[in-house]
A and B are shown apart, each in its own frame.
Chain A
Amino acid sequence: MSTEKLLEVFIGPQHPTSGHMRFIAELDGDIIVDFIPDMGWVHRTIEKIAETKTYIQIIPLIERQAILDSANYNLGYILALEKLLDIEAPPRAQYLRTLICEINRIASHLYGIGIHGIMLGSSTAFMWAFGDREPFIDLMQMISGARLTYSYMIPGGIRRDIPHDFQDKAKKAIKFMRKKIKDYFDLFNYNPVTLNRLEGVGIIKKEDAIKLGLVGPNLRASGVYYDVRKAEPYAAYPEIDFEIAGRNEGDSLARLLIRFDEIQYSMNIIERVLDDMPSGPLLTNIYLTKLTGEKKELLKKGIVRFPTLFTALKTKEGECLARVESSRGEAIYHLISNGLLKPYRCRLITSSFRNVIAFKHALIGHKLADIPAVYGSLDYFPPEADR
């Protein structure tokens, strides 16, 4: 085959789906022979900006790498920072962190499913997923006051307790979603059109998934049951009995279905967290004693105002690595501190950045028309990869 026969097609970067991203596809007829993801269109130098901000100012900054999944990314940073500060959040705060992370995981997966739906031409799946995401976003708003960027976790604890009617609302949302998932299976997942487009398309075999170093649902759909929540439990995960989703097919359908599995398992976790939630303080004792006057009064209402020392928070000299399982997979934080007000280096390794290599692999040999099916199934989120 001579290269003259090949046709180069540029896809994007004008928002092909879930963000600005460009692909360069080399086609022989309509068969893809080479597929190059070209990223960086929404690169914001978050790591560089983090070097100019204090530790508390970094919290809202770091969430911006993936606002869909801000709770998980927030938590990873806080875990690294807490290790540097030698503090630990009290049990109730740990449970609430787990709670908000799992609600966020559901919302994030529904977003991914909706985008995947519209890429396949199913506007119903798109409308449903985005509509059904609302109850969970409302739950987050009840806790944190924000729909997407919560800045909920702070060093040593969390910002706010859950309101008294939260349990009922959460259980109502879960009941609704459990009922609704059946509809997705009837109308979208097992729809012959969906099956034809996804089944056996974009297969990533187990050994390839390992070799490429994929993460998250994309890895677990290929038969590698690796989840940081189990491998190295954090927050309240060590105390909760939960399952992780896993499938073996490794095709686009498995990657779609595993997100539904994860939604169901996350709902189980939320129920367990709500049932077992211990009572107690929301902030570690070292900081609680610093709260006086009005701040102390607000604490009784479950509102944590920052202790004054947060404006000049200093850590010990040293470095620390922390990781969490975000909605799209493992996220790693490496903080290096020289004992000053700002971190010396704040390294973020996000899950989409690690998954981008899958594009090069999964689409070779498929048709041009299969690109949306595979792209959607990988749940790739450009701002998260570009940072």
Chain B
Amino acid sequence: MVNGERITELIGKVKDLCRNVALVDDNRLLLEVDTEKIIDLSHKLKDLEFDHVKGVTGVDYPNESIIEVIYYIGSYSRTDYANLIVELKITLPRENPKTPSLIKIWQSCEYPERETFEMFGVMFQGHPKLKLLLLPDEFKGKYPLRKEFKIPEEGIEI
């Protein structure tokens, strides 16, 4: 079980590399980080036995002209971190968003990063196969989960 002490200890180890650290819920630690430091922070988390990425999410904010990318990171190896999810959040410009891929650190982010690429157009530099995953190869239009993308309608609704 994660108790307060564990989290305080964890925050102490990573806070130098982060722009902002917050405990958003009982078991959710949010680390906001700059893209330049994400590799260092990821290595540090990996050393602390955060051994897998549960998923990667993008969130589009057209008004602020940014895209947020969130990595959900967890640990199977340490039972005292079992209920903890670390959210690693980076903020990217909406025009030409790019960030280093973490696939060399966590192999498990291969498919999630690819999905975030096709849905939001975030370029994960160093990812070996940044191609469409869920969308068909002949898909036209850009980035379905960005806010300006409208789902084409067939006009059959009455």
Contacts and interface: CB of A to CB of B under 8 A. Distances in A.
Interface of A: 39-40, 43, 45, 47-49, 52, 83, 210-213, 219, 224, 226, 230-232, 319-321, 323, 330, 332, 334, 336, 344-345, 347, 349, 353-354, 356-357, 386-387
A316 to B, nearest CB: 14
A224 to B, nearest CB: 5
Interface residues of B, number: 35
Contacts of B149: 48
A39 B132 CA distance: 10
B107 interface: yes
A211 B145 contact: no
Contacts of A226: 76, 82
B111 A353 contact: yes
A330 B83 CA distance: 12
B134 A321 contact: no
7 closest A-B pairs (Cβ-Cβ)? A213-B108, A213-B52, A40-B134, A349-B55, A231-B82, A232-B83, A43-B134
Nearest to A209: B76
A226 B51 CA distance: 13
B43 to A, nearest CB: 15
8 contacts: A45-B144, A232-B27, A349-B57, A349-B112, A353-B111, A354-B54, A354-B55, A357-B111
A211 B52 contact: yes
Given A210-B52, A219-B76, A332-B55, A40 B106 contact: no
A218 B66 CA distance: 37
B25 interface: yes
A173 to B, nearest CB: 32
| SS class, residues of chain A in contact with chain B | mixed
| SS class, residues of chain B in contact with chain A | mixed
A230 B76 CA distance: 13
Contact of A345 (B59, B72, B111): B59
Contacts of A336: 59
B151 A334 contact: no
B54 A330 contact: yes
A7 B139 CA distance: 28
Interface in B9-38: 24-25, 27-28
B110 A211 contact: no
Nearest to A320: B25
Contacts of B108: 211-213, 354, 357
Contacts of A319: 24
A45 B153 CA distance: 14
Among A212, A232, A320, A386: residue with most chain B CB under 10 A: A232
B77 A386 contact: no
Contacts of B144: 45, 48
B7 to A, nearest CB: 14
